[in-house]
Structure 1
Amino acid sequence: MDTAPRPAAEIALPAGWGAALVRGARCRCPRCGEAPLFRQWLKPVDTCAHCRQDWSVQQADDFPAYIGIFVVGHLLAPVIIFMIATLGLSAWVTLAVMLPVAVVMLIAMLQPTKGAVIAFLWWHGVGAFVQERPIATPESTGDV
């Protein structure tokens, strides 16, 4: 079986880094958008089943968790302030309610965030990734 990545001409590469991030956040291969990016909850596949991109070289490390903590903290901070200042709930009641909510939110967004980080690294050619861009055709550029 051939393990070399399929040429970019055979793959529908994303048009921009935003499209690549959306593919990654949907837990699909950022390069082709066809195959799953993860084989387990946070463990990426070694090689894409469709385009044969090597994902074993990704180095997302702890960055997805940092992004998740940042986003969840900023989303819940106004809720916590509202619960204490407006509703007059004690700090203990607020903690008892918001801690499980924060944990569930963080767990729910961790895999999509990791997929988006991997897509970002791939799109920009960070680390061992080779930077690829869609091939411009006369139809896509308007030069017919």
Structure 2
Amino acid sequence: MTQTDMNSERDTLRATWKGFCGRCPNCGSGPLMKGFLQVRDHCPECQEPFHYHRADDGPAYLTILIVGHLMAPLLLAVYTAFRPEPMMLFLGFLVGTVGLSLFLLPRFKGGLVAFQWARYMHGFESGRAT
């Protein structure tokens, strides 16, 4: 990495989108995740380190926020319009809520790790020249 690269700002939106898609925020080709929610220590393509990340509970909070704000009005709309049986309503929204949560959780984690990388947060600033 050259001195110019280390002083340059990283494109936060692009990096976050790459992370949301599960790709390395630096090169965009290497996988960010090793498992469902386990972040790799480094990118296998460009060797960018990721072990500095501190995603903690952020992805879970974002997932709950988004899923709750989507499902609550949808539940009211479906109940008001169709008046389904309570068990059918419960099962339908159970599957939808769990499915959407499982879909969004790793994406939010990847996006949050990439956001931290792009903003030089926590240990990611060690690659930046002062």
Q: Shorter-chain TM-score category? A: 0.7 to 0.9
1:43 counterpart = 2:38? yes
| Identical residues among aligned pairs (%) | 29
Matched with 1:127 is 122
TM-score if structure 2 supplies the norm length? 0.84
Larger RCO (alpha carbons 8 Å, 6+ apart)? 2
Determine whether 1:26 maps to 2:21. yes
Residue in structure 2 matching 1:79, options 55, 74, 78: 74
Greater C-alpha Rg: 1
Q: Which structure 1 segments of 5+ residues have no match?
A: 1-5, 134-144
CA distance in 2, matches of 1:14, 1:33: 17
Q: Does 1:55 align with 2:50?
A: yes
Q: What is the CA RMSD across the aligned residues, in angstroms?
A: 2.5
Q: Counterpart in 2 of 1:93?
A: 88
Q: Which has the higher helix share?
A: 2
Mapped partners of 1:52, 1:110: distance in 2 = 25
* Distance in 2 of aligned mates of 1:45 and 1:38: 5
- Contact 1:64–1:117 at 8 Å: present in 2 too? yes
> Any gaps of 5 or more consecutive residues in structure 2?
none
